[in-house]
Structure 1
Amino acid sequence: MPRPEAASGLSSPVRSALRHMAQNYAEPITLKDLAGLTKLSPYQIIRAFRRELGITPHAWLIRHRVTLGTRLLKRGESIATVAFEVGFVDQTHFTRHFKRLHGETPARFLTSGQAALAPRALTSARGSIRACP
């Protein structure tokens, strides 16, 4: 997943949308928001993301949130807290996407020992987590 600041080969609208989503990941973000920001229609944004990144803006945002959530889990945050802090409406929504991307639930991930391999340099959430690498 490219970082917005490292996405030199991407078009300006895609870079702007990525930067906006990376900075505001914990808030609801709609295609209409991205359309206003990029001056493209929602359909043009989706097509640009698929062409340049191979995924939709929504898929990028979900992956970004799960990646940040994984870091928080590794720090020892509770699943419910992580879900809220990275922008999911509830723990179930976070768990469903986490399992789809990681192949196991957050609870199993924590008990499997993978969480112990984590970096501890992350700060608390809701806007203060660094963007995904």
Structure 2
Amino acid sequence: MARTTSSALPIRPTAVFVRGAYALIEANYQKELSITDISAALEIGPYHLMREFRRHIGIPMQALQSQFRVEFGKKLLRQGLPVAEVSLEAGFADQGHFTKRFREIVGAPAAAYQRNSQGVGA
């Protein structure tokens, strides 16, 4: 028998929380957005959200944020902005952190990607 008291919170499917977390990360990838911030906004426990997010999306929330940041960085690099400036604009703490994540995701250093995308040194 289902509870019908007015004080009971509605039960939402996990997919709703995962979609909400994805949307928050996508909209705020350049900002420092912690798992605690995301889980509080969605009114779900952080550990449960982390487990379900990874189960549904296939990667942790931090990895998704890095992917969005690197994709934005690629766009800025193609526009010719310096790598140091791109790293800050994309939301990374410094150029070294950006370069490391960029190489992990793209498979090439940011400067090499920029040269190749602009047809220089190819």
The equivalent residue for 1:127 is none
* 1:45-56 correspondence runs (5 A): 45-56=49-60
1:90 to 84, 87, 94: 94
Q: Which runs of 5+ in 2 are unaligned?
A: 1-13
* 1:1-133 correspondence runs (5 A): 11-111=15-115, 113=116, 115-116=117-118
Query: Structure 2: how far apart are the matches of 1:80 and 1:23?
Result: 23
Query: Structure 1: how far apart are the matches of 2:87 and 2:114?
Result: 15
Q: Which runs of 5+ in 1 are unaligned?
A: 1-9, 118-133
Encode CA deviations 1:46-93: one digit per residue, 9 max, x unaligned: 111111110010111011111111111111111111111111011111
Equivalent position SS for 2:59: coil
TM-score, normalization: structure 1?
0.74
TM-score, normalization: structure 2?
0.81
Query: Structure 1: how far apart are the matches of 2:80 and 2:95?
Result: 16
Q: Relative CO higher for 1 or 2, CA cutoff 8 Å, sep ≥ 6? A: 1
Q: Larger Rg: 1 or 2?
A: 2
Q: Is the CA contact (8 Å cut-off) linking 1:46 and 1:56 kept in structure 2?
A: yes
State the 1:11 CA deviation.
1.4
State the 1:14 CA deviation.
1.3
Alpha-carbon RMSD across the aligned residues, in angstroms, is 1.5
Tell me which stretches of 4 or more aligned residues in structure 1 moved more than 3 Å: none
State the 1:26 CA deviation.
1.3
